[in-house]
Each structure stands twice: as structure tokens, then as C-alpha cells.
A and B are shown apart, each in its own frame.
Chain A
């Protein structure tokens, strides 16, 4: 059974000067108990999509259901059973950790005690600071508190809007481990992120760009769909190298990737031809090695087409 079914969902923001199609005919399904990632750069429409699914925003077209309830008609039912953690920390800064948690438990008509098991793993880490005001917590602790508050009513579906943006690498890793444990408890999780490397941690992902979903599937299937050869190229003059790669007829696309440049090869050209071309262009020391495409490569290619 699907936990979230999105069908042709659209949202348009109209101002006097222009209309912005924030979300355009987006469709996807999320299965129960799945950890589903929506990956896309800033402005891709991730937040608008989440706000529609959490009944904060009315869609302009299409439909969607969350746990079988329609997001327009049955919004009251949805509010009972989803948890939402917005990208920006939005708990009461002048209430303490404990008071925030109690407050959100109460307005969902439950108590912290009744659902303690679900937040225990996360909450024990901030429990020593439970008398501290939320505004005085560090970034990582704020995030844990926000997650605890979003979980306290035992939601069926959890929406996390860019939870790892602006969080350090260690905390990000920790956060994803927490998500995995939550998944084991049977909660369906939708998470949006601008970080491509986090895609591999999801069961399935949807790549989103300019309001449209470019591709959706398991990270492996998306990578499998990528059928060009990718060569990692490095030389002394990296900037010149990128320009030469872009200028060459044999590459479909090329972009910098860590300490290498990635060159997406056209099918009819080979590694040798590239080597010859680059040496000719004044890169005698050029180092070329074949590499496995990852989500980022797929994303770059999908954006091109």
C-alpha cells in the first residue's frame, strides 16, 4: 500500500509581474515504510511540494493522498497523522526543551510518556538540557528537538524539509542514522535535500529541478540508467583543462568533480582519442581514468536534457 500518492500536482505563485510554476505536474508514489528522498537544488520546488502535502498550501492542480487521505478534502485527518519538520527551526525559542515537547504532545492530544519509545533514541541526547530554552540550544540540538517534536504524536508519515542543510558532516551522518532507526519503527519518511551524496542513503529518490521530477527510482536504478562512459580527468592546468574538455566534440558534458573533472563521453569516442586530444592541447601530464557514475552525474545529465 502506498503511504503517499502524488498525481499531477501543481502549484503556481502568481504576482503582478510574473507567474512562477513552483511545482509542475509532479507525480510519484511512496510505499509504506520507505525512506524517500527528494533531491534537488535550491528553488527546485521541494518546500512547496512538502507544504502542499502537509496541508499548509493549497495545490493549483492535480491531487495527492497521504496515508489514504486527500490533501484538500481530508486535511484535518492528515494533520492528525503527519509530522512536519520545516527547514527553518520553528519551535518556541522562549520555551524550554521540555515545555516545547510537552506542548506539541498536548496539542496532538497525547502525552510525552505515551510515545516516549519512539523519540527515546533522539531525546536522550538532549535530555540533559531539558530545562534550557530552545533558543539557547546549539544547531544540532535544535534539530534533534525539532525532530522529537515532529515525532511525538507517532506520525504515520514524517516530512523533513532539508533537515541537513547547514549541519556539519558528522551531525549529518548521525542524523541519517536516526532516520534509519525511525524507518525500522515503520514510519514512512519523506526527506528533501540539496545534497546529492545523501541520495544513496534513501530507499528511493526523486530528482527534482525547476518544479519537475526528472527521474525517480532507487539510487541504483537511476545510476544504471546512465549509460555513457564517464572519465575522470586531471592535469596541472585544471581550469584550462575544463575549457578544453567542453570545447571537444567527443564529450557530451564536462564539469568539475572534486579534484577531477568528469567528462561524459559520447558513445563513438574512446578514452584514447581524449588522451590524444588533451596532450595536443598542452596537457602532457594528463591523467585519465574510468569512473563509476553516481547520482550527481545522473543529475547533471538529466539537467542537460
Chain B
């Protein structure tokens, strides 16, 4: 016990004397939470629009003003040549071209139907998809407006109409920050757990102090616990800073209890620390450890449902996410912070992470040898 106490004392001394680690602890959470939620906003605004108007009619003008008034589009050019408009797309000044054909109004009034042409720059797939659906719904709206002006709508509509009104539960305003911030907190905890742990142990290998420890009677489990406990505490500490910043900057207050979050984070950190420890047993230099951890971290984050929903991934990737501890934590964070899930709701997640923790740590301990 006294040995472990001393190992911990030494470890904390070293951590607090290392300016790089202190920077990671305080600067990384602030910066990540300050920057990432804004960048990872899927709502597309400021779509640049070029209108090719061959008609110059009253209806055409009304359509144009409806589109530009929506707030999603920014009128770049108003021209009467399609080629000119296409040029705009080529030089990246426009994202969308709406072409209003000649006789648009005439056809609409006489034939009761008219056509429009939309051309969308699909280099950025997400933007193109959203722009096209925004435009279509605006045009549909315009269409309805025109119809109501012409047709004397009877008191009871002869047509059967299904009007869909949706309500967004748990995030009524569809605020992307509410969705991203819990996920970013997971990233933070994962970075501390995996990177710092693996780098710390490999550093001892690199400077040779591990040999000096190995010739002493220090028990293997003492040494490993001495390494894991400080980063376990640090991980929970970073989570606290992160939750505080989330409240301060974005006003995010978990609907569920903080206790639930911390219980899960405590278990999750065990798994991540085991992961870091395992990498350190395989690496001989900090570079190696860094590259391997970074590689796996990227995969875990991108396939963990932080940026893109897991349900939209191909089936094989969905299977992979089941073997990714990050997935579970991201899900739990969103469940608890947004929905208010309780411990009993996330019990399956906790048990899976416990299995992860057990497997990773056992593997790492077996792999850590005091002698070659």
C-alpha cells in the first residue's frame, strides 16, 4: 500500500511538472468546446444563388423574392443567360442556379402548370442535398400560395389532405450544439485516457527508467495501478471542466443526473486506460505510441456516431461500431444529457463497457513484462 501511495505521489508530481500535460488538461477542453460545436453545424445557410430569368414576369419576381426571403439563400446574380450562371458555378460564386423559362407566368395561368429548372453544384454533397430540398419546399409553398389565390377553397376541402406537423423531442429547436457538445466531451475524456496513458508509460521505456523500476521488487500490479489511477482521476477532472464549459458557453444542463454521467465515465475510463496501457506495451517509442493511438482514435471517433448517425452507415460498419467503446459513451452522453436517461436505462451500455475494460486491461497486463 505504501509503495502504491509513493508511486502515485511520484506520478502526480511528474504530471504537474510537465507543462505539456497541464496545457492538454486546461487548454484542450476549452478550445475544443469553443470551436468544434460551431464547425460541426449541419444547418446550411448562405447558399449562393444565381437566378436566370427569361420571363421577367410578376410571378417570377414573386418566386424570387420568396426564395431570397427564406434566409437560406443569398442572391449572387440575376441574369438572363444560363451560360453566365454556369460560369458563376464554375468560379465557385454560386451554388445553385434557378432558371425560370420564358412564358413561366403565361403557362402557369393558362395551362395551370409551369416548369422550373434547378442546377446544383454537388461538389459538397451535404450542401447540395440540403439546398435542393430547401428550394423544393419553398417552391411547393409558392405553388400552394398560387393555388389558394385562384381556387375558391370550399369550406370543406374536397381534396383529402394530410398535413404533417413534426415536433422534435429532447431537442425542440434542433440545436446542433446540444447534439455535438456531449459527443465532444467524450472525445476529451478519450484523449486523456488513451493518449496520456500510453505516452506516459512509453516515456519511461524511452528514458530507461522502466528498467530501473523493473530491477526493484515493485509488483507489476502496483506499477500499473500507479500509472492508471492518476489518469483515471485526470479523465474525470477533464469531464468536469468540460461539463462546466458546456453549461457556461452553451447553457447545456444535463436533463439526467450528473451522478449517472460520472458513473458511466468512471467505467468508460477503465476501458480507455486499458486501451492506452495495451498500446504502450506494444510500442517502444513515444512516436510509435502516438501514431497508433491517433490512428485508432480517428477510427473510433469517425465510426462512433459523433458526426454522422450510425444508422446511416453500411451494415458492416454498424457491426464495427458495436466493438467501439466510443460509440457507447457518445450514446450514453446524449441519452443522459438530452433525454434524461437514468442508470437503469443505460445498464446495457455499462455492462458492455465493463467487458471492454476487463478484456483490454487483462490483455495489457499479460503483455506487460518486467523482463525480456
Contacts and interface: CB of A to CB of B under 8 A. Distances in A.
Interface string B202-218: 00000111011111111
Contacts of B155: none
Contacts of A244: none
A99 B10 contact: yes
B372 A58 contact: yes
B14 interface: yes
30 contacts: A55-B215, A55-B371, A56-B211, A56-B215, A56-B372, A57-B372, A75-B371, A76-B217, A79-B215, A80-B217, A84-B211, A86-B208, A86-B211, A88-B208, A90-B209, A90-B211, A90-B212, A91-B209, A92-B209, A94-B14, A94-B18, A103-B10, A106-B6, A107-B6, A107-B217, A107-B218, A108-B216, A108-B217, A109-B3, A109-B217
Interface of B: 2-3, 6-7, 10, 13-14, 17-18, 207-209, 211-218, 371-372
A93 B371 contact: no
Given A56-B211, A58-B372, A86-B211, 14 more contacts: A56-B214, A86-B212, A90-B207, A90-B211, A94-B13, A95-B10, A95-B14, A103-B6, A106-B2, A106-B3, A106-B6, A108-B216, A109-B2, A109-B217
Nearest to B16: A94
B181 to A, nearest CB: 35
Nearest to B212: A90
A191 interface: no
Contact of A79 (B2, B209, B217): B217
A70 to B, nearest CB: 14
Contacts of B214: 56
A179 interface: no
Contacts of A75: 371
Nearest to A13: B372
A92 B14 CA distance: 9
A79 B208 contact: no
Contacts of A104: 212, 216
Contacts of B211: 56, 84, 86, 90
Contacts of A26: none
Interface string A55-66: 111100000000
A51 B215 CA distance: 9
Most buried by A among B3, B13, B211, B215: B215
Contacts of B208: 86, 88-90
Interface in A44-84: 51, 54-58, 75-76, 79-80, 82, 84
A58 B209 contact: no
Nearest to A76: B217
A137 to B, nearest CB: 15
B371 to A, nearest CB: 6
Contacts of B372: 51, 56-58
A99 B13 contact: yes
A103 B14 CA distance: 12
Interface string A155-178: 000000000000000000000000
A107 B215 contact: no
A94 B203 CA distance: 12
A273 B217 CA distance: 64
A94 B11 CA distance: 10
